[in-house]
Amino acid sequence: MLDIQTKLNPVPFTRVRIDDPFWMERSRTNREHTIPAIYDQCERSGRLEALKLQWREGEPKPHVFWDSDVTKWIEAASYSLALHPDAELEKRVDETIDLLASGQQPDGYLNIYFTAVEPGKRWMDLKDAHELYCAGHLFEAGVAHFEATGSRKLLDVVCKYADYIAQVFGSAEGQIQGYCGHPEIELALVRLYRCTNNRSYLDLSKYFVDERGRQPNYFDSEKEARGGTPAYFEHYFSAPGRQTTHDYSQSHKPVREQEQVVGHSVRAMYLYSAMADLAEEYNDPTLMDACKNLWNHLTETQMYITGGIGSSEGNEGFTDEYDLPNDTAYCETCASIGLVFWNHRMLHATGEAKYADVLERALYNGAISGVSLSGKSFFYVNPLESHGQHHRQEWFEVSCCPANLSRLLTTLGQYIYSEGEREAAVNLYVQSTGELAVNGEQVKLRQQTNYPWEGHVAVTLELGKSSEFALKLRRPGWCSRVEVSVNGEKQPASVEKGYIVLDRVWNNGDRVELEMEMVAERIYVNPAVAADRGRVAIQRGPVVYCLEEADNGPGLDKLSLSPEAPLNVKFDASLLEGVAVIRTMAQRPIEQDWAGKLYANKRGRSENIEVSAIPYYAWDNRQPGAMLVWIRESS
């Protein structure tokens, strides 16, 4: 059974104030540039106009998933308003909500495409048409707007739609016994339940998760009901490898029987997030065991060092175990974001720091690489090697990633702290102040740190009165040596489930200091990963590094790092908004030895050169050029 006696809950981002050197600039950029840029793109692309439901035959058709781009923007903007009131942004949000609400049908149904373009085809293509997926993002937007503003303006619209869906779907006679091809509504319904305390939403989420993968497979039955003809949208979602099996949508078998991550990576992360939620809500160890098995398979055989997941463009997802190519790595930004969501849930369900380690890896590398430092251009795909052709774009035909990343950044505070009946936990080291409730009392934790560039963290406690509880500080998986002190006195670093636990009576003003050894180090991969045999990556703290042509010139793949050369670290405040640069020695072939030759009967000579590595998240923010994470290592 799940351990509910020592359960920790995330501290809401509204009770966290971040003033961190690393994250403050990203938060400001998100607020001042990214959120407005996404709105402008929604306007230019016709997404906002489509909400008026005035499409006419012969005009470009709205896409089936356009609703979700708009509602994710509402979610990001609403959460931004919660911390940073902005009259102009609030006006835009209200106007967009009015447009959405105006399209709700009398029975509660709300979807651009199947109201304006194909009104007679509701729920006929659950496999591909994204109706329930769009509903899920609408539900999340309704919860976000209510939590941020206290207004039920969008929440009431959402609840009416959710009530309608609960009537349409289920196992009773006359109901549709199906589920969405793209999981999302499942986790959204749990959020809606927690917001409204309406149990029917939680039960509907459980129904969708339990129904997935049962035989006969619903998507086969759905196609048979159409007379065997392909769904209208199947041409759009039928890239090679995507639709050949039900693995793509994780509907190949019941979720409790799934032990290996398969299919579309974003769909998998959203499904697993819902499974973790339901395992907690229903105290269901069978769902949690499935989550743990899937997590082990993912992290042991399918996850990139950057926290990127999904190696193949063909299915936007997983392939064979250890198949982790670099230049063709897909690693959709949304997939790393989904990995953050899932691991956040697993962390609180288990109390194990290993889930926070993966969350942190994805956050500092594979997720924030998805947006430029300007905040106005984005990666959909995040490869670990580029020959100079891969660049961020201002928008995409399928633009799920920009608003998804924006909503992650607006709620960053919720990932930092956790609270329990007599426990306070620090999960991420971000300079901030968190207001926690422990032992029925308010406890303020004030973090001071220059993480991720330095390993020193100071936590000062502000208490109304002395209180006995356990303060838990995550010992990151990358950290080999740590020292802890309380009020200047060293303490034993007792570690439980990856957390340093300090259980004592705390007084106002007590100061805990954590000194984590943060050194640049070489990282090697399981030799089963063919793409990286004989190669090495560089990591320092949670940050993965790469070589970029802007620093090292062309021919990155010809370089070989010296295995014993020091990895020298120096912070450069003027580079890429301030980064720690790692310099070391490498060997480069002398091109002159190969002039006019394709083959030779002896090795060519090499010259020693100094190379510079920058954080992976910051690449492609200067002049175009090649990039490389996994670098050859000289023998």
Contact 367, 340 (CB under 8 A): yes
Q: What percent of the chain has pLDDT over 90?
A: 91
Residue 303 shares a structural domain with residue 158: yes
* Residue 7 within any structural domain of the chain: no
pLDDT for 635: 75
Lowest mean pLDDT among 406-420, 509-523, 599-613: 599-613
* Residue 608 within any structural domain of the chain: yes
Residues whose CB falls within 8 Å of the CB of residue 43, separated by 6 or more in sequence, listed in order = 49
Contact 438, 422 (CB under 8 A): yes
Provide the residue type at 158 as one letter.
V
Question: What average pLDDT does range 15-34 have in this prediction?
Answer: 97
Q: Tell me the pLDDT of the chain averaged across its residues.
A: 95
* Residue 16 within any structural domain of the chain: no
Closest-CA residue to 219 (of 336, 97, 128): 128
CATH number at residue 95: 1.50.10
Residue 147 shares a structural domain with residue 116: yes
Q: What percent of the chain has pLDDT over 70?
A: 97
- pTM score of the predicted model: 0.96
Residue 573 shares a structural domain with residue 611: yes
Residue with tokens 């990203």: 26
Residue 502 shares a structural domain with residue 551: no
pLDDT for 493: 82
Residues whose CB falls within 8 Å of the CB of residue 573, separated by 6 or more in sequence, listed in order = none
Structure tokens at 622: 């200067």
* Residue 15 within any structural domain of the chain: no
Structure tokens at 233: 């949208």
Rounded to an integer, what distance in angstroms lies between the CA atom of residue 334 and that of residue 269? 9
Residue-wise DSSP of 126-151: TTTS-HHHHHHHHHHHHHHHHHHH--
Q: Looking at the predicted structure, is the pLDDT value of residue 314 above 50?
A: yes
Is 400 in the active site?
yes
Half-sphere exposure of 181 (CA within 13 A, CB side): 25
Q: Looking at the predicted structure, is the pLDDT value of residue 315 above 90?
A: yes
pLDDT for 245: 80
- 151-184: pLDDT as tens digits: 999 999 999 999 999 999 999 999 999 999 999 9
Q: Looking at the predicted structure, is the pLDDT value of residue 529 above 70?
A: yes
Residue 136 shares a structural domain with residue 196: yes
* Residue 11 within any structural domain of the chain: no
What is the number of structural domains in the chain?
3
Provide the residue type at 247 as one letter.
D
Residues whose CB falls within 8 Å of the CB of residue 385, separated by 6 or more in sequence, listed in order = 326, 327, 329, 557, 626, 627, 628, 629, 630
Rounded to an integer, what distance in angstroms lies between the CA atom of residue 5 and that of residue 310? 36
- 182-213: pLDDT as tens digits: 999 999 999 999 999 999 999 999 999 999 99
CATH number at residue 484: 2.60.40.1180
Residue 468 shares a structural domain with residue 567: no
Domain, as residue range, for 57:
30-415
- 547-594: pLDDT as tens digits: 999 999 999 999 999 899 999 999 999 999 999 999 999 999 998 889
Residue 371 shares a structural domain with residue 463: no
Question: What average pLDDT does range 54-78 have in this prediction?
Answer: 94
Rounded to an integer, what distance in angstroms lies between the CA atom of residue 312 and that of residue 319? 7
Question: What average pLDDT does range 609-633 have in this prediction?
Answer: 97
pLDDT for 237: 52
Closest-CA residue to 547 (of 607, 629, 632): 629
**184, 316, 332, 549: the active-site residue:** 316
pLDDT for 3: 46
pLDDT greater at residue 8 or residue 517: 517
Residue 349 shares a structural domain with residue 436: no
Rounded to an integer, what distance in angstroms lies between the CA atom of residue 56 and that of residue 62? 11
Lowest mean pLDDT among 91-100, 116-125, 156-165, 300-309: 116-125
Q: Looking at the predicted structure, is the pLDDT value of residue 354 above 70?
A: yes
CA quadruple 36, 38, 44, 47: dihedral, nearest 10: -120
Residue 160 shares a structural domain with residue 299: yes
pLDDT bin (cut points 50, 70, 90) of residue 231 is low
* Residue 20 within any structural domain of the chain: no
Closest-CA residue to 383 (of 322, 321, 318, 332): 332
Start-to-end CA span in the chain (Å): 50
Please identify, among 516, 549, 579, the residue that sits at the C-terminal boundary of a domain: 516
* Residue 23 within any structural domain of the chain: no
Residue 482 shares a structural domain with residue 532: no
Rounded to an integer, what distance in angstroms lies between the CA atom of residue 308 and that of residue 336? 5
Please identify, among 479, 498, 516, the residue that sits at the C-terminal boundary of a domain: 516
User: If you ran DSSP here, which 8-state letter would residue 632 be given?
Assistant: E
**400, 423, 513, 546: the active-site residue:** 400
Contact 436, 11 (CB under 8 A): yes
Residue 549 shares a structural domain with residue 575: yes
Half-sphere exposure of 97 (CA within 13 A, CB side): 25
Please identify, among 516, 535, 559, the residue that sits at the C-terminal boundary of a domain: 516
* Residue 13 within any structural domain of the chain: no
Structure tokens at 307: 């926290």
Rounded to an integer, what distance in angstroms lies between the CA atom of residue 626 and that of residue 527? 25
pLDDT for 238: 52
Residue 403 shares a structural domain with residue 477: no
